[in-house]
A and B are shown apart, each in its own frame.
Chain A
Amino acid sequence: MKIITIDDSSTMRRIIKNTLKRIGYGDEILEAENGKEALEILENNDVDLIITDWNMPVMDGLTFVKKIRANKKFDDVPIIMVTTEAAKEDIITALKAGVNNYIVKPFTPQVLKEKIETVMGLKE
């Protein structure tokens, strides 16, 4: 499975990458520091799953999700948002923008695994 992880924190990208490997999804992982960089990477790469942060400089996660959902090439790629934002209105905003699932930081490998299985249709 080819996954792109988008986070302005290099530590978080590293943690997500490492966690993905541990839970068996480490085949191919692309990285971007913000939404703009991710859009550039996605111009030349197809991915099976997008894992994005919300609060990032240059282009935040919400804007990125809206842009991705407006693009026919990526409108059905599952997106998981991993963020510190835990307010109900923020979660609803993200889901309405096109996010398939939502994780509040800090997360455990088990939670990430379950959410991936859910959005990939591997779990009821």
Chain B
Amino acid sequence: MAPDQSEIDALLAEFSKKDSSELDSIMDSYEEKEESEIENKAMTHKSEGSEPLGEGDVEAEKLKGVRLPPKEHRVIDRLDEINRESEEKVNKLFEKLESISAEVDEVENLIEDIKPYVNKHKEFMDFFVEHFPKTSIKKNYEYFKNIVNILNEIETKVNSIRDNTFDAMDILQFQDITRQKIERVISVIKALHDYLNNWFASDYESVPRARVAHTIVEEHEKEKVDQEVEEIIKQMQRGEIK
């Protein structure tokens, strides 16, 4: 049991007065005192009938030589928490991507709104430049053509932002795949739990769980697997698989 502050202060006061050999004997007597306290507590606990230990009895468990991890270190609970948190964060990320996508749509709509006016203006300027080639309007026409080019470039960029946003949304499927990989780890720990049930003690039994994924395809195998899936479906349709 850890000493309280008054014991620490008393020890420090003694330390400052004694030489090193005396300090060793002080340490020995302190350790002996602590061991005897632990033994007394363990005996008391045993004589009380040893009911199953509740959460508050971690100290008593320690006295019997079992060191339970603190609740915040329980492996399955922590992994579940990681899954929950990552799902929550990915959903928030998805919301942001959806907002970006909606804003990109708005920008595209604005471009679409401007386009008829720009096109009309271009027709008008084409007419003038063709019929009055020597007027100063030709110089303005060059400026205007630049504006049209910039507008087209903005449209291309907007489309690229949309494509990248959609790609990012697709990539977020990794969260579900990672979650299932963690579920597999949980199933291994669950097996270990049977042997090491105190160390891995958890409330996991009360949480309904999905069947653990048998196969999770690695990225480099995906194309091959997709082809195999297609082939199996075709074989089924041809009646080749009974």
Stretch of B12-20, B38-46, B66-74, B166-174 that contacts chain A: B166-174
Whether B214 pairs with A104 at a CB distance below 8 angstroms is no
> Given the complex of chains A and B, what is the CA–CA distance between A22 and B162 in angstroms?
11
| Cα A96 to Cα B242 with chains together (Å) | 9
Bound state CA distance, A89 and B225, in angstroms?
13
Instruction: State how many angstroms separate the Cβ of A16 from the closest Cβ of chain B.
Output: 9
- Interface set, chain B 120-165, CB cutoff 8 A to A: none
Q: Given the known A-B contacts A9-B176, A58-B208, A106-B173, are A90 and B214 also in contact in the complex, defined by CB atoms under 8 Å?
A: yes
A84 to B215 CA separation, bound complex (whole angstroms): 7
Q: How far is the CB of A69 from chain B (nearest CB, A)?
A: 15
Q: How far is the CA of A19 from the CA of B211 in the complex (A)?
A: 26
Nearest B residue to A88 by beta-carbon distance? B232
A88 to B214, CA, bound (A): 11
**B62 contacts across to A, CB distance below 8 A:** none
Taking a contact as CB atoms under 8 Å apart, the answer to whether A95 and B214 are in contact is no
User: Are B226's CB and A104's CB within 8 A?
Assistant: yes
A104 to B213, CA, bound (A): 12
Assess whether B8 is interfacial by the CB under 8 Å rule.
no
* Inter-subunit contact B232/A95 (CB<8 Å): yes
Contact of A88 (CB < 8 Å), options: B90, B94, B170, B228: B228
Chain A residue nearest to B212 (CB atoms) is A55
Q: Is A70 an interface residue (CB 8 A)?
A: no
User: Would you call A107 and B241 a contact (CB within 8 A)?
Assistant: no
- Whether A104 contacts B173 by the Cβ 8 Å rule is no
Whether A18 contacts B98 by the Cβ 8 Å rule is yes
- Chain B residue contacts of A18, Cβ below 8 A: 94, 98, 169
**Do A55 and B94 form a contact, CB below 8 Å, given A102-B233, A106-B174?**
no
B175 close to A (CB within 8 Å): yes
Shortest distance from the beta carbon of A109 to any chain B beta carbon, whole Å: 7
- Please give 18 more A-B residue pairs, beta carbons under 8 A apart, in addition to A55-B210, A55-B211, A91-B233: A9-B87, A11-B94, A15-B94, A15-B169, A15-B173, A18-B169, A19-B169, A55-B213, A88-B232, A91-B229, A91-B232, A102-B232, A104-B226, A104-B229, A105-B173, A105-B217, A106-B222, A107-B173
